Structure 1
């Protein structure tokens, strides 16, 4: 994981407006959230089962994340590498899983894989945050 120092940290915005801007840059709002915190992810690179993401955490200041009117504050963005198993799952439960559909995805091989060329991905993450911030002019408060 590479923690990024960017001006977005500590800034506040309306969740609905921020989500629209992040969406326009191909970022996704992660469905794994609770009503008081969540995150936006931007795919920076993918090759096979390896992906490098920019992740921007958000925290609710007022309201709840299931409403676009919630007021959010941005946390410190970071770059993370996620490595998944692209092969077949051959454990003792794989037949049951395949026939019942109870487990749709395999466990990742490495949720926080080693990132080679860290300066490259640090720069890519900072540039992505900068482009998003430039598009949020007038939407942010401190």
Structure 2
């Protein structure tokens, strides 16, 4: 995990506004959310490992299962997950094999992030700031 400084930290927004701004850019709300916190994930690459820019958020008014919830953004970070090689490539068992392997646990859920992805992450954070911060920031 590589934390990235950002001007979006501690900013508060309605969650639906963030979704409208970020989903068209490829961000998804990660499946590991609960009623109080969650993550916007942007997949950067999947060569050798899955690399993501992750933007955590916390409910400050309401809960995440409540329409109109307001959230506070936290420090973005880069994350790398290494998976067992070969599972995604093995087509011998087709859809049945894929149905089970899509939920496999990473062999290394906190793999090292190479320097080139850190630079990409910094650029993505800058774009994130441009998307959601008022233009006078």
Query: One fold, TM greater than 0.5?
Result: yes
Query: Unaligned 5+ residue runs, structure 2?
Result: 88-95
Count of aligned pairs between the two proteins: 125
The aligned counterpart of 1:134 is 130
User: Under a length normalisation based on structure 1, what TM-score does the superposition of the two structures give?
Assistant: 0.77
Q: Which moved more, 1:12-21 or 1:124-133?
A: 124-133
After TM superposition, list the pairs within 5 Å mapping 1:49-60 onto structure 2: 49-60=48-59
Q: Alignment RMSD, CA only?
A: 2.2
1:81 aligns with 2:77: no
Contact 1:25 1:132 in 2 (8 A): no
Contact 1:83 1:110 in 2 (8 A): yes
User: Under a length normalisation based on structure 2, what TM-score does the superposition of the two structures give?
Assistant: 0.80
